Amino acid sequence: MKIETKCLHEGYSPKNTEPRVVPIVQSTTYVYDSTDDVAAVFDDPTKSLIYSRFENPTVMAVEEKIAALEGGIGAMCTSSGQAASLLSILNLCSAGDSFISTATIYGGTVNLFAVTLKKLGIECIFVDADADEQEIEKAFKPNTKAVFGETLANPALKVLDIEKLARVAHKNNVPLIIDNTFPTPILCRPIEHGADIVIHSTTKYMDGHAVQGGGVIVDSGKFDWTNGKFPEFTEPDESYHGTVYTKAYGKAAYIVKARMQLMRDFGCYPAAHSAFLLNLGLETLAVRMKQYCINAKKVAEFLDSSDKVVSVSYPGLKGDKYYDLAQKYLPDGSSGVITFSIKGGRDNAVKFMDSLQLASNVVHVADIRTCVLHPASATHRQLTDEQLEAAGIDGGMIRFSCGLENVDDIIDDIKQALDKI
Ligand SMILES: *Cc1c(COP(=O)(O)O)cnc(C)c1O
């Protein structure tokens, strides 16, 4: 199946007289014929369903679909993108370990890695995503267990050279984890470029309608966990009656371990109804992503031509710093998100934002409706103008998330707001 077809048909194939649409299985628990049957499920939880903190048929249909879209062998949904980032690391690192992350990643992930994981004794070593391989390699320590990066950084819109990071990670015998939230598997499939684990905030384009939050971890099944660096995969798990994950589950060791240890203990599994809504978003994902890219490119070109705009970041735009990398990793477009800076700084940016009529001012991105955010007033509000500059954000910067309205209406709205400045 091609990817458009997978969006509609993977994960659920109804049999004779069964519902056409993935049913919402609203039950926390499952029935067994005998105590022996229950015991057998506890021996191998992948054989059947135990309890809704681990698995639910509606959620599993979505997991199977997303795994197929990314080209992975398995996936596990979580209740938020943050939970997916957290568990993707905790499945590899314990107190005393470190991992490497590129510095230009989603702000919430920076905080999770730099502050909260640090409190748990796990060190995140940040590197410049644009640095060369030798430079990135210097960051490795004997206790380094993973490399993490974001395909298309939110909100910096830097395109990651995934193959470069995969080479450095694999040379050092650790997996590469990629946050692929903005491109979605429609625009980029990081596993094809060497990523071992892919995560998403499904709250963004995958859901697309701004109706529920979620996350997912996808396992490529390609990493060799028996290379000596990952004893938790190759030695008996006493918390699960001595299971050796690589022996019992082979290529699926990572994703089964994540479910059996971390989902069991943290319990951040989504509700069936949320998965049902996410599935509706996934069904139209391919169509939507293509249109976001068409709209955003036109909007980026318009902004680029305006004398009230100082700079525009959109990797699909000729002349953008990341244009060449975008041609390689995002040949079909670089999503609907654009960042740009208004001449005159903070005051003019605020005036522009407040003059928009169609685009709404929300703390969200990647919605079907056009939305905007002024980082200096919202996500980066606590910073002074000097600190903002150091963080690469100027007071005039706006994150513009193109929706699926007619692009002429989006541009007209921008025009009239720019005229108010
Ligand atoms: C929003 C976002 C997250 C966090 O996801 P939530 O669903 O809000 O927890 C992680 N990564 C990226 C790139 C994001 O945009």
**pLDDT tens, residue by residue, 171-200:** 999 999 999 999 999 999 999 999 999 999
Which atom of ligand 1 sits closest to the CA of residue 109? Answer: 10
| Confidence bin at 393 (pLDDT 50/70/90) | confident
Per-residue pLDDT tens digits for 298-334: 999 999 999 999 999 999 999 999 999 999 999 999 9
- Answer whether 80 contacts ligand 1 (Cβ < 6 A): yes
Ligand 1 proximity of 281 Cβ (cutoff 6 Å) = no
Ligand 1 and 154: CB distance under 6 A: yes
What spacing in Å lies between the alpha carbon of 82 and ligand 1's midpoint? 6
Question: Is the CB of residue 243 below 6 angstroms from any atom belonging to ligand 1?
Answer: no
**Rounded mean pLDDT of 75-83?**
98
75 within 8 A of 128, measured Cβ to Cβ: no
pLDDT of residue 394: 81
Describe the chain by its helix, strand, coil percentages, rounded to 5. 40, 15, 45
Q: Looking at ligand 1, which atom is closest to the CA of residue 105?
A: 13
How much distance in Å is there from the Cα of 44 to the middle of ligand 1? 32
Q: Is the CB of 102 under 6 A from ligand 1?
A: no
Q: Angle at the Cα of 313 (from 308 to 319), degrees rounded to 5? A: 95
Residue 170 has pLDDT above 70, yes or no: yes
Residue nearest to atom 5 of ligand 1 (CA): 81
- Helix pair angle (345-355, 407-419), 10° resolution: 130
- Average pLDDT, stretch 254-276? 97
- DSSP letter, residue 30: -
pLDDT at 156: 84
- Looking at every residue in the chain, the average pLDDT score rounds to 95
**Residue 375's pLDDT band (cuts 50, 70, 90):** confident
pLDDT reported for residue 379:
74
107-131 CB burial, b ≥16 within 10 A, e <16: eebeebbeeebeeeebbbbbbebbb
**Residue 391: predicted pLDDT:** 64
pLDDT at 43: 83
Q: Is the CB of 82 under 6 A from ligand 1?
A: yes
pLDDT score for 155: 84
Q: What domains lie within the chain, and their CATH numbers?
A: 3-280 (3.40.640.10), 287-418 (3.90.1150.10)
Q: What is the pLDDT of residue 160?
A: 97
Q: Is the CB of 81 under 6 A from ligand 1?
A: yes
Residue 365 alpha carbon, nearest atom of ligand 1: 15
Stretch among 172-186, 243-257, 340-354, 382-396 having the lowest mean pLDDT? 382-396
Q: Are strands 371-373 and 397-401 parallel, antiparallel or unpaired?
A: antiparallel
If you average pLDDT over residues 241-253, what whole number do you get?
Answer: 96
How far away, in angstroms, is 393 Cα from ligand 1 center?
Answer: 19
pTM above 0.75, yes or no: yes
For ligand 1, mutation pick of 201, 277, 367, 373 (most atoms within 8 Å of CB): 201
Percent over 70 (pLDDT), the chain: 99
Mean pLDDT value across residues 231-250: 95
At 392 the pLDDT is 65
